[in-house]
Structure 1
Amino acid sequence: MTNPLSPRRLLILSCSMTKRDGPQYIPARDRYDGPLWRTLRHVDPDERKARVAFLSAEYGFREARTTIENYDRRMTREIAAAMRAGGLGTRWPLPKTHRRAMPSGEHPGMHIASMTEHGRKPFVDVCLVGGALFLDVMRHFVDLFQEDGFVRGSSPVTEVCAPIGIMRQRMSIWLNRSTGDASDDADDGGRR
C-alpha cells in the first residue's frame, strides 16, 4: 500500500552496472544493486515517498517495478541521441532486425501513462538522478511528460549529478522532503 505522496512524486534513476543475480526476470528496483539503488531500498523500501522509474541503455524508460533480465549495456552518446529522437513512442530494447511489422519492447509513453493513471494524477515533484548522458535524456522525457500532462508544468525538477556519495545524500534528502502540493489529490485534470 502506498501513501498519498507516492503517486504524485517521481524519482527517475539511471540504471546500475552492478546487478543482483537471481531468477531470469526480477523487478528493476531489486535487480539493480549500485549505491544509488541500495540507498533507495534503504530510504524508501516500499515506494511510499515517491514512485520510481529508471532509464537504461537496454530498456529505455520504465517503471522500477518492471521485471528485467540481467544485461550488460552501457549508455552511449548514440543511444542517448536515439532515445531523445524516439520520444515517448520508441520501443526498447530496439529490435535487432527490421523484419517485424510491430516492434517488440515497451515505450516510455506507456509507462508514464500507467504511473499517472493516464494523466489523471500527474506528478507534481520530480527528481532526476544519474550521470550527464542519462540526465540529458531524462530532461528531454520530463519536457515531453509536461507537454502531455503526465507532469504538471509548474512542478519543481531536481537534478542530481555529482560524485556518488553526494548523489546518495541528495537523493535521500529529496526522498525524505515532504511537499504539501505532492499530496494534493484535487481532480484538476493535471493541468494548472
Structure 2
Amino acid sequence: MPHVSVLILPGWQGSGPDHWQMRWAAQHGYTVVEQDDWVRPRRGDWLARLDEVVVDTPDADIVLVAHSLGCIQVAAWAAVSRHTARVRGALLVAPGDVERPELREQMPGWTPIHRQRLPFAATLVGSQNDPYCNHERAQGLASDWGARWVDLGAAGHINTDSGLGDWPEGHALLQELMNPMAG
C-alpha cells in the first residue's frame, strides 16, 4: 500500500497551537497548508495554494483534513482542480457557513458555497451547537458533498474552545479515510 500524505487545512485566522489540527501536525508529522493571509482570506489564493501543495506532494495518495473555512476551500478546490485524483479522502470538520450574512461580510468572495458531490471519499463532522454553521445546514452540506455524516453532539465549533485536546475520536475517523480496507 502506498504511503498516504495528510494535508491540514485550517480555517479563517488559522488554527492555534492547542487546536487539534496543530496537535495532529506536531504528533504525526502532517503537513499544514500555510496561507499568505489568514485574516483576509482570498478564495483564489487559497485554492491556488492548495493546488500547489497537492502537486508538490510526493506521495501518490493524499488525505485532506479541513476545519471551518478549510471545508469550504476543499469543495471549491474540488470543483476546479485537475488534481483531485491525487486525493483519497477528506475529513471535513465544522464547515463555516460563509453564506450567512455576518460571515459573508468578513470573507467576501467565498460565496456561493460549491455544493457538488466531491470526487473522493469524505466524512463531515458537525456539531449541534456550532455558532458558525447550524446543524441542519452542516447535514445538508454533507449530503450535497456525498460525505458520511458524523454528529459530534454539542461540541461548539469543534475547535480549541471545545476542549477536545488531541481529539482521538477524530483521528480515528481520519485513519478510516487513510486505510479504507482496515475497517
TM over 0.5: no
Tell me the TM-score normalized by structure 1: 0.40
Give the number of the structure with larger relative contact order, counting CA–CA contacts within 8 Å between residues 6 or more apart.
1
Query: Rg bigger for which structure?
Result: 1
- TM-score, normalised to structure 2, is 0.41
